[in-house]
Amino acid sequence: MTNHVHLLLTPKALGDVGRLMQALGGRYVRYVNDRYRRTGTLWERRFKSSLVTGDDYLLRCQRYIELNPVRARMVTDPGDYAWSSHRGTASAHRDSLLMPHAGNHAIGETDALRRERWRQLVLDAVTPEETEAIRLHLQRQHLYGPDRFRRAIEAQLGRTLGPGKPGRHRTARADGSEPPEQTEIAL
């Protein structure tokens, strides 16, 4: 996109996404600064991430990403955008950077059938609610997946996942007592 990038990654170990983004950011900034004889940072702020769980949710995110240039009216077909994974997932064009997720394998028995079904799935209309849900989870950096998974993680951690109240957390109440602990975990 002209002002942002979407990556859908499955890390092998905890912290891999952060390390990848740090290395990518450093190399790209160095390249642009050298090429255009400039200095300074390119990025406005730190990257945002959201844990995605479940094949259905992962495929929704992939579809959202591949349709982004179409929604932005940069192209009429997602396969026409040079920086999209769509050609590698919906046509015979091979891209060594792409590794199909298990969810992709579930939509067809053969590569050809998977590509055909994926293209049709991407081209089917995405509801505004689905688009908004993905955007909201990413902006807030919250887990995107089934409620039962979120509840299981909350039970394991003993705290809630999700948006907290806006504004600063108070350190003490007017009567001097401590407020209940409120923790927001951004995944």
What CA–CA distance (Å, rounded) separates 82 from 133? 26
Q: Which residues touch 157 (CB under 8 Å, ≥6 apart)?
A: 185
Cβ(62)–Cβ(153) below 8 Å:
no
Give the model's confidence band at 181: pLDDT under 50 very low, under 70 low, under 90 confident, else very high: very low
3-state SS, residue 52: strand
Q: What is the pLDDT of residues 44-99, one digit of tens each?
A: 778 888 888 888 888 889 999 999 999 999 999 999 999 999 998 998 888 888 88
Amino acid at 44: E
Q: What is the pLDDT of residues 126-173, one digit of tens each?
A: 788 989 989 988 888 888 888 888 888 888 888 877 655 555 545 555
Whole-structure pTM value: 0.74
Calculated CA dihedral for residues 25, 30, 36, 37, nearest 10 degrees? 140
Sign of CA dihedral 59, 67, 12, 162: negative
